[in-house]
Amino acid sequence: SSCLAQRPPNATFPAIGAMEADAAQVVDGMVNLGELKKKPGMHLTDVERLLQQVDRERRAIKRDPPEDARRTLEYCKKFKQLQNSAGAGEAKGQLLRLINVEGKYVRRCRDFEATQLLNLMPVTADEARTLIPTLEGNRHLEDLVKELKPLKEFDPHVD
């Protein structure tokens, strides 16, 4: 039995702009992130780096960072899977690289999915599908998950 949380079947999510966001759904080939669907995803290592910069700037002018920024920074430090921001960026690029499938170049996953794979580091394709429902039916998923393994071995922080 898995300890992974399942999304309740009737779960609703807050609306972002005019479109209701639901990251478990794909609309027009894109993960349904509402107005944010075309924005690149950020892995926790980058979010941590940006929040540390905000923290330094706020402290330089003798102002404390907002409470939500402080708590988000703590979350990033606790749960980030990769230590090195540049390495995480390279890994994301590797997951998003174009491959030749029957004479046509395609991406193996969407930007949101690559970001979540790096943030969550699933060990199996089944775990990845459970954590990231939009990967259901992705024929490249086994390869994507296998590519995460060396990252775990290279970065001693990854459990």
What are the structure tokens assigned to 117, written together? Answer: 């794979």
Looking at per-residue confidence, does 116 or 33 come out higher? 116
Indicate whether this model's pTM tops 0.85. no
- The answer to whether 121 touches 131, Cβ cutoff 8 Å, is no
Beta bridge partners of 100: 105
- The answer to whether 104 touches 91, Cβ cutoff 8 Å, is no
Instruction: Convert the pLDDT of each residue in 57-92 to its tens digit.
Output: 999 999 998 899 999 999 999 998 888 777 788 899
